[in-house]
């Protein structure tokens, strides 16, 4: 079973010392998770942290969207334990993110959600996502799709 993220907060004023809970949910195994966002923190743009059951699982920052990529992502995963979390930001045209797998019947898709405080250097809006999958390392690619289902970017893993 794959969890669909829900937005925790769509629009707030965020200062440099305050993290916004961008998405949160509860995985199928009952673990509560949240993804926090700061537009800039400690000199790094687009700082995000994955929190699972109150503890930080992973953090990442600096995604150059759209200069280098259309999909900026990180992942919290402990082989054979817990869930695999894939989280991040995407450019505005990407409305669906797909995780392709070795077994084509096990791919996941999730809608990306607007995050009002997340913008490119040019001021264009960014979107946020979190995929929660079973505890196995079988994702072979992340694929960003536009509203018509066309591929915007495919990142082989």
What is the full per-residue pLDDT of the chain (157 aa) written as tens digits? 233 344 444 333 444 457 889 999 998 889 999 999 999 888 888 999 999 988 888 888 888 888 889 999 988 766 666 678 899 999 999 999 999 988 777 788 999 999 999 999 899 999 999 999 877 667 889 999 999 999 999 999 8
Is residue 12 exposed (0-12), middle (13-18) or buried (19+ Cβ within 10 Å)? exposed
Domain assignment present for 79:
yes
Helix (H, G, I), strand (E, B) or coil at 104: helix
Rounded alpha-carbon distances, angstroms, from residue 113 to 38, 42, 53, 80, 106: 16, 25, 23, 29, 23
Domain total in the chain: 1
**Residue for token pair 């699972």:** 52
Domain membership flag for residue 150: yes
> In terms of C-beta density within 10 A (0-12 exposed, 13-18 middle, 19 or more buried), how is residue 118 classed?
buried
Distances (CA, A) of 44 to 41, 113, 138: 5, 22, 30
Range of the domain at 94: 6-156
Whether residue 1 is contained in a domain is answered as: no
Whole-model pTM?
Answer: 0.84
Q: Give 135's DSSP letter.
A: S
């Amino acid at each position: 079973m794959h969890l669909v993220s829900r937005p925790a907060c769509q629009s707030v004023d965020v200062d440099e010392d305050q993290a916004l809970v961008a998405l949160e949910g509860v995985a199928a195994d009952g673990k509560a998770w949240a993804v926090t966002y700061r537009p800039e923190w400690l000199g790094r743009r687009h700082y995000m942290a994955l929190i699972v059951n109150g503890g930080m699982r992973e953090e990442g920052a600096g995604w150059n969207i759209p200069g280098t990529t259309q999909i900026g992502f990180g992942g919290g995963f402990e082989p054979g334990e817990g869930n695999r979390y894939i989280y991040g930001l995407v450019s505005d045209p990407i409305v669906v993110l797909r995780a392709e797998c070795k077994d084509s019947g096990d791919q996941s898709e999730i809608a990306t959600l607007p995050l009002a405080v997340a913008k490119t250097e040019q001021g264009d809006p960014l979107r946020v996502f979190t995929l929660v999958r079973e505890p196995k390392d079988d994702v072979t690619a992340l694929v960003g799709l536009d509203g018509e289902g066309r591929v915007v970017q495919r990142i082989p893993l």
